[in-house]
Chains A and B, each alone.
Chain A
Amino acid sequence: MPFIPHTEEDVEEMLASIGAASIEELFDEIPPDLKTGNLSRVPPGMTEMEITRLMHERAQADGFYLNFIGAGAYEHHIPAAVWQITTRGEFYSSYTPYQAEASQGTLQLLYEYQTMMASLTGMDVSNASLYDGATALAEAALMAVRQHKTSRRILVPGTAHPTYRKVLRAIVRNQDIEVVEIPFDPESGQVIPEQLDPFGQEEFAALVVPQPNFFGVLEQVDTLTDWAHKKNSLVIAVVNPMSLAMLTPPGEWGTKGADIAVGEGQPLGIPLSSGGPYFGFMACKQELVRQMPGRIIGKTVDLDNKPGFVLTLQAREQHIRRSKATSNICTNQGLMVTAATIYMSLLGPEGLRRVAAQSHANLLQLVEKLETIPGVKRAHSGFCFHEAALKLPGPIDEILQALKAQGILGGLSLQDYYPALSNTLLVCTTETKTPVDLDKFGEVLGKILKKYK
């Protein structure tokens, strides 16, 4: 019996102790007419050897590609130690640290994580993570509305990740919150602060500022932040944590800094793995801490005055506050945060900066190379971090197919997300791309594009 240790003798003794004749008798409170129990569509069990064979076959069918897709999920090198430590049974198979004395490992790690994320974002405090970047944005919007108290409008630029905007709308829709989309400048690929005023005439709870934005372009974060603050609204920063090793952190944007910073934590040591599990991070200013959803770890002392860590501010949470909780969220993405904390420790400030800087430099190198191909040019004029949109002289889907045939995933077609952006490809580079990789992409694309001249 897979994963069930009972011997026949055990079962007999146990039933005797209970006073039941059979295991089936233990289900005698279930009305007989409800018992169906026939799992006709579940295949028979496999041995570990058989499932190993099957999974290897399926993995090999999916294969490996030279990947230039980013768009919210980024391929960085993950040191071997990260997942070897993370999947130790003591991290992998423990639960939410309700019993603090038996969970100091997880609790201290989360406190270290909160410290790292608060510093990276330039904010005062961080929670212990949320599901992913998109839901973290939705939670930030709800938090801003709770804090603002009078307005339920959220301004979101069209340069924010299109799926994040969809998730935001889906989650806040039932709470009478209005999501207002603000346009961007198609030439620079940025929000133009001077064009915001029509949207600020009516009160709003928060302005969302993505940095870098979905096109990889850097927004004028200082001006945008100050504009929203002048209107007595909050600023929600949506940032790539890797970029913050190089870029001004949200806590230092404008005169007062953004109020809430959220984003996708995946670049910090989490594999791409078809989209998850990742983790969402959320950090904020001290005065907002009681509005923050999710688990928060605090430092304290034990009876002997020795330092230790506990879940704190729990009265905000669903298991105590029930229908008045800040959110229904119970978990964080504990294991992912374990990996991210080990990743950041192994990289350190200089390592993280080098990864970010090389990712950025590779993009400049790649764009320079691709722009030498006739008909290829950047779609936007704004400065970029490690991702950029390129206009190509032919239909993207066809070109991507041809690239794939040569083992290259060339990027993401933007037309599905922005109908006006036909023949536009979003390409991304990380530090994992070598000069040879960049050259190969240039050469192969050059050959493919010859037919569109």
Chain B
Amino acid sequence: MSIPTELKYTKSHEWVKTESDGTVTIGITQHAQELLGDMVFVELPKVGRTLGQKEECAVVESVKAAADVYSPLAGEVVEVNTELESSPEKINQDPYHAWLFKLKPANVADVANLLDAQGYEKALESEAH
């Protein structure tokens, strides 16, 4: 399984992409969507909501499971991907493009503390054992 090297990750299977305007885009990883199976519903945070790091802020739901999404960083929600509300299957089709929400981080430097692709791969390996 290829893990994009340009993104950052969390142990709870979120990916984080730093945008040029200083915001970050957040989604769930290929591994997470495989575990959950066919998505049927996504609940997104409200734009303007202030999130703490690791705060529960979204729910992704398949037929047989529902998982909370935790914000990888503290910050304010500036945009959500409303397209997912009608087409949640996009997360299954292309998890690294089907983003959930964008955040204006309280502290951009925190991004550096997240896992890189290699670190995430290691985390996945240890989870499998």
Interface residues on B, range: 10 to 19
> Complex: how many Å from CA A290 to CA B62?
13
B64 in contact (CB, < 8 A) = yes
Interface contact B64-A320, CB-CB below 8 Å: yes
Chain B, residues 59-86, CB within 8 Å of chain A (1/0): the string is 0011111101000000000000000000
> Complex: how many Å from CA A324 to CA B69?
13
Q: Which residue of B lies closest to A311 (CB)?
A: B63
Q: Which residues of B contact A290 (CB under 8 A)?
A: 41, 43
Q: Among residues 298 to 316 in chain A, which have CB atoms less than 8 Å away from a CB atom of chain B?
A: 314-316
A231 in contact (CB, < 8 A) = no
A166 in contact (CB, < 8 A) = no
> Complex: how many Å from CA A321 to CA B61?
10
Interface residues of B (CB under 8 A from A): 40-41, 43, 61-66, 68
Task: Give chain B nearest CB distance to A105 CB in angstroms.
Answer: 22
Closest 6 CB pairs of A and B: A315-B66, A315-B61, A321-B66, A320-B65, A320-B66, A315-B65
Interface residues on A, range: under 10
> Complex: how many Å from CA A290 to CA B85?
13
Query: 7 more A-B contacts (CB under 8 A) besides A315-B61, A316-B66, A320-B65?
Result: A314-B63, A314-B64, A315-B64, A320-B64, A320-B66, A324-B66, A324-B68
> Complex: how many Å from CA A316 to CA B63?
10
Q: Which residues of A contact B65 (CB under 8 A)?
A: 315, 320
> Complex: how many Å from CA A201 to CA B27?
41
Q: Which residue of B lies closest to A321 (CB)?
A: B66
> Complex: how many Å from CA A171 to CA B40?
31
Q: Which residue of B lies closest to A290 (CB)?
A: B41
Q: Which residues of B contact A315 (CB under 8 A)?
A: 40-41, 61-66
> Complex: how many Å from CA A20 to CA B43?
55
Task: Give chain B nearest CB distance to A96 CB in angstroms.
Answer: 16
Q: List 19 A-B contacts (CB under 8 A).
A: A290-B41, A290-B43, A314-B63, A314-B64, A315-B40, A315-B41, A315-B61, A315-B62, A315-B63, A315-B64, A315-B65, A315-B66, A316-B66, A320-B64, A320-B65, A320-B66, A321-B66, A324-B66, A324-B68
Chain A, residues 343-376, CB within 8 Å of chain B (1/0): the string is 0000000000000000000000000000000000
Chain A, residues 314-329, CB within 8 Å of chain B (1/0): the string is 1110001100100000
Q: Which residues of B contact A321 (CB under 8 A)?
A: 66
> Complex: how many Å from CA A315 to CA B65?
6
Q: Which residues of B contact A320 (CB under 8 A)?
A: 64-66
Q: Which residues of A contact B63 (CB under 8 A)?
A: 314-315
> Complex: how many Å from CA A315 to CA B59?
11
> Complex: how many Å from CA A316 to CA B62?
11
Q: Among residues 276 to 293 in chain A, which have CB atoms less than 8 Å away from a CB atom of chain B?
A: 290
Q: Which residue of B lies closest to A315 (CB)?
A: B66
Q: Which residues of A contact B68 (CB under 8 A)?
A: 324
> Complex: how many Å from CA A324 to CA B63?
16
Task: Give chain A nearest CB distance to B47 CB in angstroms.
Answer: 15
> Complex: how many Å from CA A290 to CA B63?
13
> Complex: how many Å from CA A321 to CA B68?
10
Q: Which residues of A contact B43 (CB under 8 A)?
A: 290
Q: Which residues of A contact B41 (CB under 8 A)?
A: 290, 315
